[in-house]
Amino acid sequence: MSRAGNRTGPTMHDVAAAAGVSQATVSLVLNDASGTRFSEETRHRVQDAARQLGYRTNAHAKVLRDGVAGMIGFVGDFVATAPFAGKIIEGAQGRAWEAGLLLLTVNTGGDKALEKSSLETMLSYKVAGVVYAGMYHRVLEVPEALGEVPAVVLNSRDRSGRLPSIAPDEELGGYTATRRLLDAGHRRIAMINIGIPDDDALPAAAGRRNGYLRALADAGVGPDPRLQRNGEGEVAGGYANTLELMALDEPPTAVFCANDRTAWGAYQALDSLGLGVPDDVSVVGFDNQETLAPNLRPGLTTLELPFVEMGRRAVELVLAGSGAAGSGAAGSGAAGPRAGGPRTELLECPLIERQSVAPPNKPRNRKPEKRRKP
């Protein structure tokens, strides 16, 4: 036999020596054994040593020991084609890989037959669990089959309340965006939403609006219904609503747009009126869409959806046995749809500062006259 054929690669003993821990600790850390407690420093030492040595866990042994394959299923509707898909999958895949597992990803395109078939195939392969993801934050009808394995709903919520969910903290995001404008000195702050906030299926629209209203209330600013507009989250809606807002007798000095595409439309409308951002009107968006927000002129101050962190956290809950088939672990966010059931963990959306916010300019005593179509 050739020399190359005798190579077995680094062993668990080698990882233990490099990390300065016992072989048992390496085994427990790399296999994410339940009921064990290690400091983050120890966990990182073991993972770094394994990565540097090129150590691979024995997938066959894991199946024999645990009765599950070395894979976690990831099923989404339009996730793989959405602008933010890369980050949400990156987070989930990275966390799965740290646990020695592969992420088996299926994009169904909203096809329920494909979704059912995909889930049945994943379950037949005895995946360790399933992450069920939505393209945007909404309430979903979750397949009954997910009750057979540890499962987590990602970027959406389970209408039945059976499964735990991971979602952005929309209300805190709306509050942070509005607070940023208030801190800059604005009091006439408009909001252009991404849908009808009273629609129970759209927690993103409701949460961002509630955060906006709460920030105004905390600052002692009474809400003006004329400054609140509902759109569809597209450029055209941002454009049309901004024109209407700026035609008011007392136009806003700032606009909170509930997504970045709406903000792009607002930029175009303000430019068509001969108004500048932020000299005449400040604008804050939501999403931090990488192909858009940094490339507007000036760059758009916006809230970032924490997709990498959400993907990682969803896999962590699957590994911990969350879901109807697991322990039903509760998270640290708002309560889920069913009282006493699994909860929705809400992750903070950080503010990304660019150049679209400034103190309010002196009010203009004329209505804008110049209007050009985008």
What residue ranges do the domains of the chain occupy?
Answer: 4-56, 67-168+308-347, 170-304
For 72-97, what is each residue's pLDDT tens digit?
A: 999 988 665 566 678 889 999 999 98
**Mean pLDDT, residues 232-259 taken together:** 96
More confident position, 374 or 191: 191
What is the homologous superfamily of the domain 67-168+308-347 according to CATH? Response regulator (3.40.50.2300)
Among the ranges given (67-71, 170-174, 209-213, 370-374), the one the predictor scored with the smallest mean pLDDT: 370-374
pLDDT at 285 over 70: yes
For 186-199, what is each residue's pLDDT tens digit?
A: 999 999 999 877 76
Band the pLDDT of 68: cuts 50, 70, 90.
low
Residues near 86 by beta carbon (within 8 Å), at least 6 away in sequence: none
First to last CA, the chain: 72
> In percent, how much of the chain has pLDDT > 90?
51
pLDDT of 328: 38
As its CATH architecture, domain 170-304 has: 3-Layer(aba) Sandwich (3.40)
| Tokens read off for 57 | 């866990």
Residues near 148 by beta carbon (within 8 Å), at least 6 away in sequence: 123, 325
Helices (H), ranges, the chain: 12-19, 23-30, 40-53, 59-66, 85-98, 112-124, 170-183, 203-218, 235-246, 260-272, 307-319
Fold match, 67-168+308-347 / 170-304: yes
Name the one residue in this structure whose structure tokens are 């059976």: 162
For 28-44, what is each residue's pLDDT tens digit?
A: 887 766 556 788 889 88
214/221 Cα distance (integer angstroms):
10
4-56 under CATH 1.10.260.40, yes or no:
yes
